[in-house]
Each structure stands twice: as C-alpha cells, then as structure tokens.
Amino acid sequence: MHFQAYFKHTVTDTGFRNTAVNGLVTGYQLEIRFPGYRGSHLSCITRLDLTVDGKKVDPQDLLFCLNGKEFLMAQIPELFVEYWFILDNATLKVAKEGGLAAGPHEIRVDFAYRVPYTGYYGNYIVAEGAHVRALPLAR
Amino acid sequence: MHFQAYFKHTVTDTGFRNTAVNGLVTGYQLEIRFPGYRGSHLSCITRLDLTVDGKKVDPQDLLFCLNGKEFLMAQIPELFVEYWFILDNATLKVAKEGGLAAGPHEIRVDFAYRVPYTGYYGNYIVAEGAHVRALPLAR
Amino acid sequence: MKDSNIKLGISLYSLTIDYFLRRYDLERCLATAQELGAEGIEIVAAMMVPGYPWPTAAWCEDFQKLLQKYRLAPVSYSAYVDMGLRSDRDLNEPEIVQFTKNDLEIASRMGFQVVRTQHAISPATLEKMVPYAAKLDVWLGVELHVPHTIHVPVWREYFGLFDKYGSDHIGIVPDFGVFQEYPHLPWFHQAAELGMRQKTLDVLCPLQRRGVTEEEALKQVPDLTDAERPIAHELFKDFHPAALEDIGPMVKHSRYMHGKFYHIDENFHDACIPYDRILPLVRDHGFKGFIASEYEGHQFDESIDATEQLKRHLTMEKRILGLA
Amino acid sequence: MKDSNIKLGISLYSLTIDYFLRRYDLERCLATAQELGAEGIEIVAAMMVPGYPWPTAAWCEDFQKLLQKYRLAPVSYSAYVDMGLRSDRDLNEPEIVQFTKNDLEIASRMGFQVVRTQHAISPATLEKMVPYAAKLDVWLGVELHVPHTIHVPVWREYFGLFDKYGSDHIGIVPDFGVFQEYPHLPWFHQAAELGMRQKTLDVLCPLQRRGVTEEEALKQVPDLTDAERPIAHELFKDFHPAALEDIGPMVKHSRYMHGKFYHIDENFHDACIPYDRILPLVRDHGFKGFIASEYEGHQFDESIDATEQLKRHLTMEKRILGLA
Ligand SMILES: [Mn+2]
Ligand SMILES: [Mn+2]
C-alpha cells in the first residue's frame, strides 16, 4: 500500500484542450502530474496508458512532453537524464484529426513507476495506480 | 576535407578557471564550442579527449556540462535527446585537487562526431579534428 | 527550549501533501517549520530543489537567504542513491560516486553539513567517499531504514567502516520506523479504502501482535477476499521491529536521526513506534545532534493535517525528553 | 528586379562562419540578406533555431515578425533526417515520421510553406507524409545532393511518387552542387593548408579534367606524400557531375532549388559549377520558385568574405537570367 496516495491526483484540472497548427486541428492534449512524493527520472516510468472515453489511445499517437521536449512513448525507458520535477506538469499530446468534441470526456491514466532507491535485497518496488476522472474540454 | 573548418575554434577564449565548492578548490574547467556548422545531439560525439600541458585527462575525472546538466563521458553516446545548440558553449569540468597553477597552459581537445544525415550508401561521415592552444588560467 | 544535546528539527518531507498539491511552496514549508518552533530543517532535494540534480548556484544562494529569513538551521540535505534509475541496468560505481559527489557539492553550496544517503551506496563506495566528505567538511550518513536492522550483513560492513575511519565524516542516520511494532492509523484508513473489512482486521491484528505466522493466521479467515489478501500479507510482513538495545551502537556513530512517525494521537502518543522508550535511550546514550520529525502518514491518508501532526510530534518529543 | 517566375533568395547557411564565430546573430544575418537584395531566405533550423527541435511558440511568432521587419519572404525551412543521431542504431520509421512531422509543424508555425528534407527520409516514409503535408499545406522537398543523381535507385522511387501523387506537396530540391565539375578555389586553399604541393596538383588536376582514373593518374606522382594521398583521392572521387539534361525532370517536380556555390570570382563567374548553362535550362524548362544562394566555401576557407560572395552570386544569377 506504499506510494499509493498520489495516483488519485495524476490528471490535472487544467490544460485539456484541442491542439492546432496554423488552424489545422491536429489532436488534443492534457496535463498530468508525476504521481509520487518526489520527482523522477523518466526512465523509471514503466507504464503510462491513456484511455479516453473508454478507448485506449494508441501509444504511436501519443507524445509525452516535458522540460521543453517531446518524446515518443517508446523512448521513455531510455530517458535517464530527463528529470521530472514534482511541481512540473507533463503534457500528453494525442494526434487525432479534428481533435475531440466539446464537452466532458472520461480520462483514465494508468501509471506505474520504479522507485529507484528501493532495491532492498535486490528488488525494486514498482508503484502502480490509475486515475479516472471526467474533464471538460477547454475552448 | 569536409567539415574541417570549425575544429580550429573548439576551445574558447573564456571560462578557463579553477573551480571551488565553499572554498575547496576541486579542479578546473574550460569551455568548448561544438566544432561544426550546426548543432548536434550529444550521442553523435564519438571522441572527446582533453589533454592539458601534454597530459591526457582521465575521462573518469571529466564531466561534460551542457543544457544545465552534467554528464559522465561514458554517458555521451547515450544522450540522443540532448541537443547541443551551436551558439552554446559546453563546459568541461576536470576533478583535480588544488586545480591548476596560475599562468598559461596548453590545452588540446581531440574531437570527432558522426554527421547524422550523411548515411549515403549506408555509411556516416565521422568528422575529426584537434584544437591546440595556450590559454591563461583566469583568476 | 532548554539547552540540550538533542535539537529538534523537521523534515520538510512531512509536508509532502501540501507541497504536492501546490498548497504550500518551499517558502511556505519553511515558514511552517518556523511557526512550529523547529530549530532546523531537512530538505529532500529530489523533491524540493528546482533543477535537481543540477540546481543553479544562484538558487543555492537564495535558499540560504530563505533559511536565514526563517531563522532555521540547515540540518540535513536528504540524498538518494537512485541505483535503479536506468531501465536497463543498475547504476555502476563511477555513476554512484558521481551521483553522491554531486549531492555533497550541492548540499555544501546550500549550507548543509549533513547529507543523508542510502545503503544502496554500498560500503565500498562509501569508503571511497570518506576523503571527499572530509575535504568538504560534510558528514555523510547512511539511513538505517525498514526493513534493515544494524545486524544485516551490509550494516555490519558499515559499522566496520565506522570503526576504521571514525564517524566524523560518515555515520548512521537511524530512522525510528525500524522500531515500528504495529500498523498505524493511516494504514488502517487506507486498508479500509482498499476493501479490507473491519471484521477481518479484528481477527488478524491480535494474531499479528501475538507473533502468529501469516500462514497460521489466515486459517482463521476462511472468507478472505482478493482485495484483503495483499493487505493481510503486508500486516504480517512489514512489522518486525528492531531491538531497542540497538540504539546504543547507533548513537555512537550518529549525528542525525529521523523521527519517523505516521500518527500521533490527541494525547501526544504514538501507538505504533515506542517513542517513550526510544527517546530516553537516545538521550541516555549521549546522542548529540538533530532529530527531525518525519511525518509519513500522508502516504496513506492525505486528509490528515500534517502541520497538526508535526505539532503533536514535537510536543511529544519535548515531553519525553523533558524539554518542554 | 524584373517580374520573373524565378525569385532569388539566400540560404542563411551561407553566413555560417559569421554566425559560428558569433560575429552575426540571426537578426544580423537577416539584415544582411535584405541588404543584398534577397527576396527571401532559407533557414537551417538545426543551426539557427534556439530550442531546436522544440522551439517555443513565442519564438516562432517573434521570428515571423523579424522577417516582416526585414521584408523577407520565408522561403524554406531546411530540415534534416538525422537518421544516425543515435549511436546504437539508425532511427526507425516511427522516429523519422515524428522527426519530420515535428519539422513540418515548426516550419508552419514559423511561416514557411517549403520544407527541405533529405533522402534518408526514404520513399516509403515520404509517401506516408503526403497527407500530412497536404493538410498543413506545406511542400516537402527532398534535396538531391552530391553524390546522388536522379538516376540512382532511391531517386527513381521518388520520381515514381511524384508521378503518383503529383508534386503539389512533395518534390525535389536540386542542389547545383551535383553539377560541379572540378575542385573550387577554397578547396585548393584547404588542400595547400593540409600539405598538398602545387607541383602535385599541376600534374593531377589536368588528368582529373581529362577523366583519367585515380589509379592511372597516381602513377604520374611517384613521390606522393601521406598528407597528399587522401586529398588526391578526393580529387578523383568527388567530382562526377550530373548531366545537364537532368534539369528538365527536376524542374517538373521542383518549387525550390539550392544555388550551391563555393567561389565566385571577381568577374562574377563560377569556375566549377556551370551556372551559365544551368540557369538558362532551369528558366527555359519553366521553373517557378526560389533559387537560394547557398555559399559553402566557408567549410574550406573561413577567411573569404561570405557577404561579398553572396553579392557576386546574386549578380551572376541576375546577369545570366537577364534580371539585372
Ligand atoms: Mn527516514
Ligand atoms: Mn544544398
């Protein structure tokens, strides 16, 4: 039951909106917190799945954005010099032609991370949790 | 003879000085440019050797500092999301008890990097060069 | 507060939930520590230092000014050994050395003379750090944390180093969590939230207190649910307190201790960690240094007021130590 | 300048040495382009966009204002396919797609409708980008660069795509370097600097011009030094110009061309790249778009004044095209 308290705060209130480049709506984005008490190297993230309105987003359509950079989900395990400061929100950008319709959507984030200093007797704790909430799409 | 022009500007005029933490002189540092016409991902660096006054610095005593981060030389090949903007100088920090003596020192940097878009017919060009210059240690 | 060898501080980690939810920024955490009467603070760098692990020199200076503003001593810089930060392998020794040197230097720039590290540093690496800690005039303390005791092999090795080098620059940071005997109140709150029934606890807890094994105990709960199973397992796995006799050897090599706690009741009593026996032993063995109140109930029940818990913990410590 | 289908621009890459040595910042490069009378510019993003590959939206807006200030058209955003950026493997297709989508989006935010990419994108990946380029209303041109010609297999595939999808959103960016026949003046400067003797060149250069093989030619220089050997090898390896008849098919699928050059003499003549034959063919085949002057002599001799070279190149182009 350790490291469980923060998962329920993963998806933030703000930043859920459609994205556009020069008027072309390319998808949508939302913001998440790192669901732990301290920051983490991104390479410690072992799972990050986004489900919107009951449908899992294909990781190929997802970009993880932090520290002014944008990463493919497949790169996350390799990002051992990218630190997620606990007060910084990360942005998940989803490529989806036309974006999402106005109004509320159900957002679910399944998240897991290795606690990198817990190798007691050789095993690292992996903290796992999910956060589900309805969020209105900002205009 | 391609990509040779910039190596002669690798070691900069500024930033060569001893380093201290709370009064303890821990070593010295100097600044280098990326010796190419554009920026590079750090993972493209294939060689970076520092020689001071004719003696090669042990890579274990060297830190490569850029983008507000500090890297062990052994990590360089893995830093594929760390971009070296061409106008930013990198700092080489050398651990050496007591630092260097005042006055001029001969600095030599041997540098090589893969040109990541030159895989014509399957081979990447590796640009190589050296820069040797005398630099006075700043007070 | 009376003059005493023992000084009372606060780990800012105690205020995690307020910080995490952006209710308190770092300065507000410091202000809270001052209001509570703490003499000094511990900071968890990986949590509260912007730019970590490479904060700017300017930020480190500003931090020292903040401490002066709130009249707080810089007690401990809390470092990790994030040995598992890579996904392909553990950090190797040159990486751990650099990781730790970096923490020692930042700590020094921030004004700290105590750096808390973790056993993952390994005795061999700690030994290599002795000269550097000495030069920087920093004391590098390894935290003794659940599930370890001073009798596990790695800690026997650490004590060997203390015997060899003295404990002027390396030592032990005991976390009082090693003396925890039973689950705490926030644990029960979270257990309930996760589906543990009171009737199951009513059967299992007394058995845990009597030292019955998990296997034997579970026979008494034939209707254990899937949700209850891992929680019941924790109940029998997690609470194996170290012996209070270990406090003597700890004190001998310690300059800093973690006053870990999960809940102090309204009568200023910890029902799970025997502070009333721990603290007198710490004092009587001659401990000289800071004990930082380290509240961790927020990991289990975020609705509890952390500041109130800290206030109770400090009050309890002062009463037990006769410092009130 | 007369109204013409062909417009003359400058690649800011031409000013590399001034930029690299911090003599010119980006704005000064733009001011120089305006002073030279260029109608528009190409920017090499990996060189001049702070924060690349993820510049901020604010920076992209400010850049457009700078272009307006200097009355310059945003002609081409020059993108790479840094397929070898990792040390353990080449980028895979999802990575190249994302790399290119990112460039298309930044280019679009910076106001560019032409994006120059490189053949490492591969025909298969380029084909996947067609709908996205169409949606963003960007033209994605693959640069044809030495040592390629339009007859190598990968370029036959690109032309197959142009036939299939048209060239409204994909196409070819010919670099006139493919027509280079002989070494250029800065090449001779660098060769001398690296130890090549004039007497060796006096023997080898005429043989290279007559099409003699390296093996045969070296027999005429029995005293070739170790320093000379790699330079002699380059002399025979690097200068195999594409046929000028290829210009027709290029023009058909091109909106943008690189006026690559290494040295223009004081008589406004390029002694190595036959501009006097290239440009009339480009015009007569009906090319409509920008030719950007792309000075590259700085890679060989940094002492040559790049701005003067650009001035000569523009003058030469105008004379040949009758735009003066
Ligand atoms: Mn602790
Ligand atoms: Mn070109």
Type and span of the H or E element at A48: strand A45-52
Contact between D51 and A68 using a beta-carbon 8 Å cutoff: yes
Structure tokens at C179: 């003396």
Q: How far apart are CA D199 and CA D205, in angstroms?
A: 10
Tens of pLDDT, residue by residue over A53-95, are 999 999 999 999 999 999 999 999 999 999 999 999 999 999 9
Q: Give residue D2's pLDDT.
A: 52
Q: Give residue B124's pLDDT.
A: 93
Q: Which chain C residue has its CA at the smallest distance from A36's CA?
A: C20
Distance from CA of C139 to the nearest CA of A (A): 21
Tens of pLDDT, residue by residue over B90-115, are 999 999 999 999 999 999 999 999 99
SS3 B12: coil
3-state secondary structure D234-291: HHHHCCCCCCHHHHHHHHHCCCEEEEEECCCCCCCCCCCCCHHHHHHHHHHCCCCEEE
Tens of pLDDT, residue by residue over C33-74, are 999 999 999 999 999 999 999 999 999 999 999 999 999 999
D114-118 and D139-144 strand pairing = parallel
Strand partners, D114: D139
Rounded to whole angstroms, the maximal C-alpha distance in chain A is 55
Q: How far apart are CA D34 and CA D1, in angstroms?
A: 14
Tens of pLDDT, residue by residue over B5-63, are 899 999 999 999 999 998 899 999 999 999 999 999 999 999 999 999 999 999 999 99
Q: Give residue C280's pLDDT.
A: 97
Is D304 exposed, middle or buried (CB count within 10 Å of its CB: 0-12, 13-18, 19+)?
A: middle
Counting ligands in written order, the one closest to the CA of D44 is 2
Return the amino acid letter for D1: M
Our answer on whether C and D touch (3+ beta-carbon pairs < 8 Å) is no
| Mean pLDDT over each residue of chain C, to the nearest integer | 96
Output phi, psi for C73, to 5 deg.
-80, 140
Instruction: Set out the domains of chain D in order of their start, with CATH numbers.
Output: 6-181+241-321 (3.20.20.150), 185-238 (no CATH)
D40-44 and D6-11 strand pairing = parallel
Binned at pLDDT 50, 70 and 90, residue B3 comes out as confident
Binned at pLDDT 50, 70 and 90, residue D3 comes out as low
Q: What's the Cα-to-Cα distance from B91 to each of A82, B14, B65, B112, rounded to whole Å?
A: 19, 10, 5, 17
By Cβ distance, the residue of A41, A78, A120 closest to C147 is A120
Binned at pLDDT 50, 70 and 90, residue D314 comes out as very high
SS3 B43: helix
Q: Give residue D29's pLDDT.
A: 98
Q: Is A58 on the interface with D (CB under 8 A)?
A: no
Does residue A120 carry a pLDDT above 90? no
What length does chain A have?
139
Contact between A80 and C20 using a beta-carbon 8 Å cutoff: no
Q: How would you classify residue D115: left for phi > 0, otherwise alpha for psi between -120 and 50, otherwise beta?
A: beta
Tens of pLDDT, residue by residue over C199-227, are 999 999 999 999 999 999 999 999 999 99
ipTM, two decimals: 0.93
Nearest Cα to D98, choosing from D54, D64, D145?
A: D54
Contacts of D65 (CB under 8 A, 6+ apart): none
Subunits with 3+ Cβ pairs within 8 Å of D are A, B
Question: How many A from CA of D254 to the centre of ligand 2?
Answer: 14
Subunits with 3+ Cβ pairs within 8 Å of C are A, B
- DSSP alpha helix (H) spans, chain C: 16-20, 26-35, 45-48, 57-69, 93-110, 123-136, 153-165, 185-193, 198-209, 214-218, 228-237, 247-252, 275-284, 306-321
Q: How far apart are CA C282 and CA C30, in angstroms?
A: 27
Q: Give residue C251's pLDDT.
A: 98
Nearest Cα to B108, choosing from B15, B42, B19, B10?
A: B10
Mean pLDDT of C306-317: 98
| Mean pLDDT over each residue of chain A, to the nearest integer | 95
- Distance in angstroms between the alpha carbons of the first and the last residue of chain B: 38
Q: Is B14 on the interface with D (CB under 8 A)?
A: no
Contact C265, C274 (CB under 8 A): no
Subunits with 3+ Cβ pairs within 8 Å of B are A, C, D
Q: How far apart are CA A128 and CA A110, in angstroms?
A: 8
Binned at pLDDT 50, 70 and 90, residue C127 comes out as very high
Contact A60, D94 (CB under 8 A): yes
Q: Give residue B118's pLDDT.
A: 87
SS3 C126: helix
Structure tokens at A115: 């606690």
Contacts of C143 (CB under 8 A, 6+ apart): C116, C117, C118, C119, C172, C173, C174, C175, C258
Structure tokens at C291: 């004990």
Structure tokens at C189: 């709150």
Type and span of the H or E element at C10: strand C6-11
Nearest Cα to C70, choosing from C100, C38, C98, C114?
A: C38
Q: How far apart are CA C83 and CA C98, in angstroms?
A: 12
Does residue B123 carry a pLDDT above 90? no
Q: How far apart are CA C162 and CA C172, in angstroms?
A: 9
Distance from CA of B121 to the nearest CA of A (A): 27
Does residue C3 carry a pLDDT above 70? no
Q: Give residue C4's pLDDT.
A: 81
Domain topology for B7-137: Immunoglobulin-like (2.60.40)
Q: Give residue D248's pLDDT.
A: 97
Binned at pLDDT 50, 70 and 90, residue B1 comes out as low
Does residue C145 carry a pLDDT above 90? yes
| Chains A, C: CB pairs < 8 Å | 84
Mean pLDDT of C87-108: 95
Distance from CA of A137 to the nearest CA of C (A): 22
Question: How many A from CA of D175 to the centre of ligand 2?
Answer: 5
Distance from CA of A2 to the nearest CA of D (A): 36
Contact between B68 and C54 using a beta-carbon 8 Å cutoff: yes
Mean pLDDT of D233-254: 96
Q: Give residue A1's pLDDT.
A: 62
* Residues of chain B with C-beta less than 8 angstroms from the C-beta of C50: none
Q: How would you classify residue C111: left for phi > 0, otherwise alpha for psi between -120 and 50, otherwise beta?
A: left
In the block, residue with structure tokens 């011009």: D209
Structure tokens at D246: 């290829």
Does residue D64 carry a pLDDT above 90? yes
Of chain D, the percentage scoring pLDDT greater than 70 comes to 99
Q: Give residue C168's pLDDT.
A: 96
Structure tokens at D156: 């036959």
Q: How far apart are CA B78 and CA A77, in angstroms?
A: 12
Angle, helices D153-165 vs D123-136, to 10°: value is 30
pTM recorded for the entire structure: 0.94
Tens of pLDDT, residue by residue over D116-169, are 999 989 999 999 999 999 999 999 999 999 999 999 999 999 999 999 999 999
